[in-house]
Copies of this chain bind each other. A is one copy, B any other.
Amino acid sequence: MSYDRDSVSKLLEAARAAARTHLGPAEGRALCEAYGIPVPAERLARESREAARLAAEIGFPVVMKIVSPDILHKTEAGGVVVGVRSPEAAAETYDEIIAKARAHQPAAQIEGVLIQRMVTGGQEVIVGALTDPSFEKVVAFGLGGVLVEVLKDVTFRLAPVTEAEALSMLDSIAASEILRGVRGGDPVNRLAIARIIVAVSHLVSDFPQIRELDLNPIFATKEGATAVDVRVLLDFAPPAQRYRPSRDEILRAMNRIMRPEAVAVIGASPEDGKIGNSVMKNLINGGYQGHIYPIHPKAPEVLGRKAYKSVKEIPGPVDVAVFAIPATLVPAALKECGEKQIPGAVLIPSGFAETGNVEGQRELVKIAREYNVRLMGPNIYGFYYTHKNLCATFCTPYDVKGTAALSSQSGGVGMAIIGFSRSAKMGVSAIVGLGNKADIDEDDLLTFFEQDPNTQVVAMHVEDLKDGRSFAEVARRVSRQKPVIVLKAGRTAMGARAAQSHTAALAGNDRIYDDILGQSGVVRAYALNDMLEFARCLPMLPTPKGENVLIITGAGGSGVLLSDACVDNRLKLMAMPDDLDAAFRKFIPPFGAAGNPVDITGGEPPTTYRNTIALGLQDPRIHALILGYWHTIITPPMVFAQLCAEVVEEYRRKGIDKPVVASLVGDVQVEEASSYLFDHGIPAYPYTTEKPVAVLGAKYRWARAAGLI
């Protein structure tokens, strides 16, 4: 599609010159035409015979409207007639309209009568665009009409979109079935709508001064789609400038900050209970092997390490400075870091934007930019990078190495991450506090984790995305390789209000977040505990090779609940082929149920579990297993756990590695058995049929978005 940018430029320039904040109908129409968006045919008639001829050319029925710069309220002046159906009627109507207009406003200058194709029928849809403070240009699609408005059935994407993305929007609304034709109705021309979406998305991307745009209604039929009304709002104020360093610049700094060879602690203290003391202890006791340089105004050493009065006195290079001093002292110390060419400052101190001291925070950023220092925080607990044994934090140390990287905007959630990790023995690569996000934000972290060989999955607690567009673009790239999980707090209107009072962040419309995070391949968690469990389990689970999920259960009751959970998590219970059904039946009692779930029944010995699980792993048509264990004396919990781990391990050795999750119902021994299974790479939960399926569902969501299945 080629777009006529020049026409639009001129048109917008004229509006800007006239200090207008919106376009008139004719301009809106011209804008559509420039970007190939179909609008109803129209022509200007200057006398009645011409009206008849033009109307015939355009095709009936037509709408006729007076054109006069002096008549503002056309309808009141009798200047609009709809449903004109013949050349004769068009001629008559022309004279009528002129006569009424003259009667209504004798002095009006009249240019003629506009004859417009009257579009009706088909399905009303809406295409629009808006400027989101975080995501910038966003394109929207929905059905038209009051009912849809009430149900808020609209979907969004980051603009510009490809044709494929635009087509996906047609399937993203709840009422999408309508577009495919129901009850004998015609399906709409999907491509025609998609092209309008694409055109709008480019139009607003090419011309940021278009603040909002509505094509409402668009009449979509089997043949095509025509935009009947256009509304365009303008804003010529230049958009806020974002700080967007290149990927290389980000990595140069982030690799040194996150995996430093030398750390300075500004405010290091020998005194128990001080933050600067905790940070020192965590670095030393955590086993960090790089240089640790305490900075202290007087002490010659802190906790046995030689101290310096300023970072500038440190003999060698320093990669990151951890700040443990009061807010008022931060700017001066930060300047010294700049002079020392330290690429990163970890700002634990609070007392900045979160307490209303916005100016103080701005000052830090100014210094940071001037000296090219990246800031983490302020108002954070610090960060952990386990593969360097690095606990650059005043919180408790954590050292279980693994491949999940987690970040949190809030310190409270950060502490939940630490506690959960320790309790669940979750291996992590990094835990990072982002706090006020004066500088380093989720984009920077993602860019780092993308190339960090120790990280395989990234989970982020987010209250606002200061640069949602940039995040979405990075996430789209990263999520193709590594799952990106996001817990977006402030989801709901009520929650969003709390977010504002907490971080002074502008909360986005949640549907926008939902759609754009989805467009970026992000696995969204809707609950804190889900984010934590997804981070724990996704690295354990191999990527499924297809959509066929099989439930094998000892408890029929669990089978039903697990099936419910599959539907909730959009997992596909495979339809059981006859031969496979027969193969399973060989292992289960005659009154057991094959099909899916495979109900082996409750009284079975370990071999039945073993044989059916082995068959599930072996048959290439099955892509993932959900196990429902039922505690019996014949197959006690630990016996099940051990056989299950063994058979999964046996097939892994043979090169067959499928995602397996388990729900264990039974007496308290199922807790130990679940724990054993987790230790052997099988996510397993007691007393819940929901959690294991949610975890598998998250893996599938990621794999689908990454195009792997």
- Asked if A204 is at the interface of the complex by the 8 Å CB criterion, the answer is no
Tell whether A117 is near chain B: CB-to-CB under 8 Å.
no
Pairwise interchain contact B495-A567, C-beta atoms closer than 8 A:
yes
- Inside 8 A of A395's CB, which chain B residues have their CB? 667
Residue A558 CB within 8 A of the other chain: yes
On whether the beta carbons of B529 and A687 are closer than 8 Å, the reply is: yes
Cα distance A566–B491 in the bound complex, in angstroms: 11
| Chain A window 545-580, contacts with chain B (Cβ cutoff 8 Å), 1 for yes, 0 for no | 000000101111111110111111000010000000
Contact of A148 with B by CB under 8 A = yes
- CB atoms of A528 and B689 under 8 A apart: yes
| A501 and B595 within 8 A (CB) | yes
Q: How far is the CA of A537 from the CA of B686 in the complex (A)?
A: 19
Q: Is A502's beta carbon under 8 Å from chain B?
A: yes
Please provide the chain A residues from 412 to 431 with a CB less than 8 Å away from any CB of chain B in the complex: 412-413, 415-416, 418-420, 422-423
B688 touches A529 (CB 8 A): yes
Q: Mark A609-629, 1 if CB is under 8 A from B, else 0.
A: 000000000000000000010
Distance between Cα atoms of A74 and B450 in the complex (Å): 71
CB-CB contacts of A171-183 with B at 8 A, as 1s and 0s? 0001101100011
Please determine whether A491 and B564 come into contact, CB atoms closer than 8 angstroms. Answer: yes
Instruction: State how many angstroms separate the Cβ of A669 from the closest Cβ of chain B.
Output: 8
Bound: A573/B686 CA distance, A: 33
A492 in the interface (beta carbon within 8 A) = yes
User: A197 within 8 Å of B by Cβ?
Assistant: no
Q: Given contacts A147-B175, A502-B593, A630-B415, is CB(A560)–CB(B495) below 8 Å?
A: yes
Out of B354, B532, B564, which one reaches A591, CB within 8 Å?
Answer: B354
| Known A-B contacts A529-B687, A529-B688, A688-B528; A185 and B146 likewise in contact (beta carbons under 8 Å) | yes
Question: Does any Cβ of B come within 8 Å of A29's Cβ?
Answer: no
- Docked Cα-Cα span, A24 to B493, in Å, equals 51
Residues in B whose Cβ lies below 8 Å from that of A489: 557, 560-561, 564
Q: Does A240 have its Cβ within 8 Å of any Cβ on chain B?
A: no
A668: CB under 8 A from chain B? Answer: yes
A315: Cβ under 8 A from any B Cβ = no
Inter-chain CA distance A355–B555, complex, in Å, is 14
| A409 / chain B contacts, CB cutoff of 8 Å | 557
Given contacts A419-B686, A631-B415, contact A557 B408 (CB under 8 A): yes
- Taking CB atoms, residues of chain B closer than 8 Å to A591 are 354-356
Cβ-defined contact, B564 with A495, below 8 A: yes
- A212-242 CB mask vs B (1 if < 8 Å, else 0) is 0000000000000000000000000000000
- B563 near A497 with CB under 8 A, answer yes
**In the assembled complex, A671 has its CB within 8 A of some CB on chain B:** yes
Q: Is A149 an interface residue (CB 8 A)?
A: yes
Proximity string of chain A (347-366) to chain B, C-beta cutoff 8 Å, 1 when within and 0 when not: 00010001110000000000
B415 touches A667 (CB 8 A): yes
Please name the residue on chain B nearest to A665 by beta carbon.
Answer: B416
* B residues near A491, Cβ cutoff 8 Å: 564, 567
- In the assembled complex, the Cα of A593 lies from the Cα of B667 at a distance in Å of 45
Q: Specify which of B423, B463, B668, B689 is in contact with A422 (CB 8 Å cutoff).
A: B668
Q: Which residues of B contact A147 (CB under 8 A)?
A: 143, 145, 147-148, 175, 178
The number of chain A residues with a CB under 8 A from chain B is: 98
Q: How far is the CA of A501 from the CA of B689 in the complex (A)?
A: 19
By a CB distance below 8 angstroms, the chain B residues around A174 are: 151
| A666 adjacent to chain B (CB < 8 Å) | yes
Contacts of A294-324 to chain B: CB distance below 8 A: none
The verdict on A17 contacting chain B, using a C-beta distance below 8 Å, is: no
The smallest C-beta distance from A633 to any residue of chain B, in angstroms, reads 7
A411 contacts B555, CB within 8 Å?
yes
Are B564 and A412 within 8 A (Cβ)?
Answer: no
A406 to chain B, nearest CB (A): 12
Contact status A690-B557, CB under 8 Å: no
Q: Give chain B residues whose Cβ lies under 8 Å from the Cβ of A69.
A: none
Q: Does A599 contact B (CB under 8 A)?
A: yes
Question: Contact: B175 with A557, CB < 8 Å?
Answer: no
- In angstroms, Cα B687 to Cα A412, docked, is 10
Using Cβ atoms and an 8 Å threshold, which residues of chain B touch A87?
none
A568 to B143, CA, bound (A): 26
Nearest CB in chain B: distance from A354 CB, A: 7
Closest to A634 in B: B273
* Contact B412 A527, beta carbon cutoff 8 Å: no
Q: Is the CB of A687 within 8 A of B532?
A: yes
Question: Are B494 and A413 in contact, with the CB atoms below 8 A?
Answer: no
For residue A345, give the distance in angstroms from its CB to the closest CB of chain B: 21
A540 CB within 8 Å of chain B: no
Q: Which residues of B contact A603 (CB under 8 A)?
A: 350
Chain B residues lying within 8 Å of A497, measured Cβ to Cβ, are 563
The yes or no answer to A367 lying at the interface (CB within 8 A) is no
Q: Does A26 count as interface, using CB distance less than 8 angstroms?
A: no
Cβ of A461 within 8 Å of any chain B Cβ, yes or no, is yes
What is the CA–CA distance of A444 and B665 in the complex, to the nearest angstrom? Answer: 26
Q: What residues on B are CB-neighbors of A687 within 8 Å?
A: 416, 419-420, 423, 528-529, 532
A40 on interface, CB distance cutoff 8 Å: no
Given known A-B contacts A355-B591, A564-B495, A502 and B557 have beta carbons under 8 A apart: yes
The complex places the Cα of A667 from the Cα of B415 at a distance, in Å, of 6
Name, among A178, A420, A563, the residue most crowded by chain B CB atoms within 10 Å (CB to CB): A563
Distance (whole angstroms) from the CB of A103 to the closest CB of chain B: 29
Contact with B along A481-524 (1 / 0, CB 8 A): 00000010111111101110111000000000000000000000
Query: In this assembly, does A289 line the interface, its C-beta being within 8 Å of a C-beta of chain B?
Result: no
A691 at the interface (CB under 8 A from B): yes
The CA-CA distance from A492 to B562 in the complex, in Å, is: 11
User: Is the CB–CB distance between B423 and A178 below 8 Å?
Assistant: no
Cβ of A454 to closest chain B Cβ, rounded Å: 23
A276 within 8 A of B: no
A597 within 8 A of B: yes
A435 to chain B, nearest CB (A): 10
B560 A490 Cβ-Cβ under 8 A: yes
Please report which residues of chain A, range 664-689, place their CB below 8 angstroms from some CB of chain B when the two chains form the complex: 665-671, 686-689
CA of A551 to CA of B143 in the docked complex: distance in angstroms?
Answer: 38
Q: Is the CB of A490 within 8 A of B564?
A: yes
Known: A667-B396, A690-B527. A410 touches B556 (CB 8 A): yes
Q: How far is the CA of A248 from the CA of B408 in the complex (A)?
A: 59
9 A–B contact pairs at CB < 8 A? A149-B183, A355-B590, A355-B591, A411-B555, A416-B665, A419-B666, A420-B687, A495-B560, A495-B564
- 8 new A-B contacts, CB < 8 A, other than A149-B182, A412-B557, A415-B555, are A146-B182, A355-B591, A410-B556, A415-B667, A416-B666, A420-B686, A422-B668, A494-B564
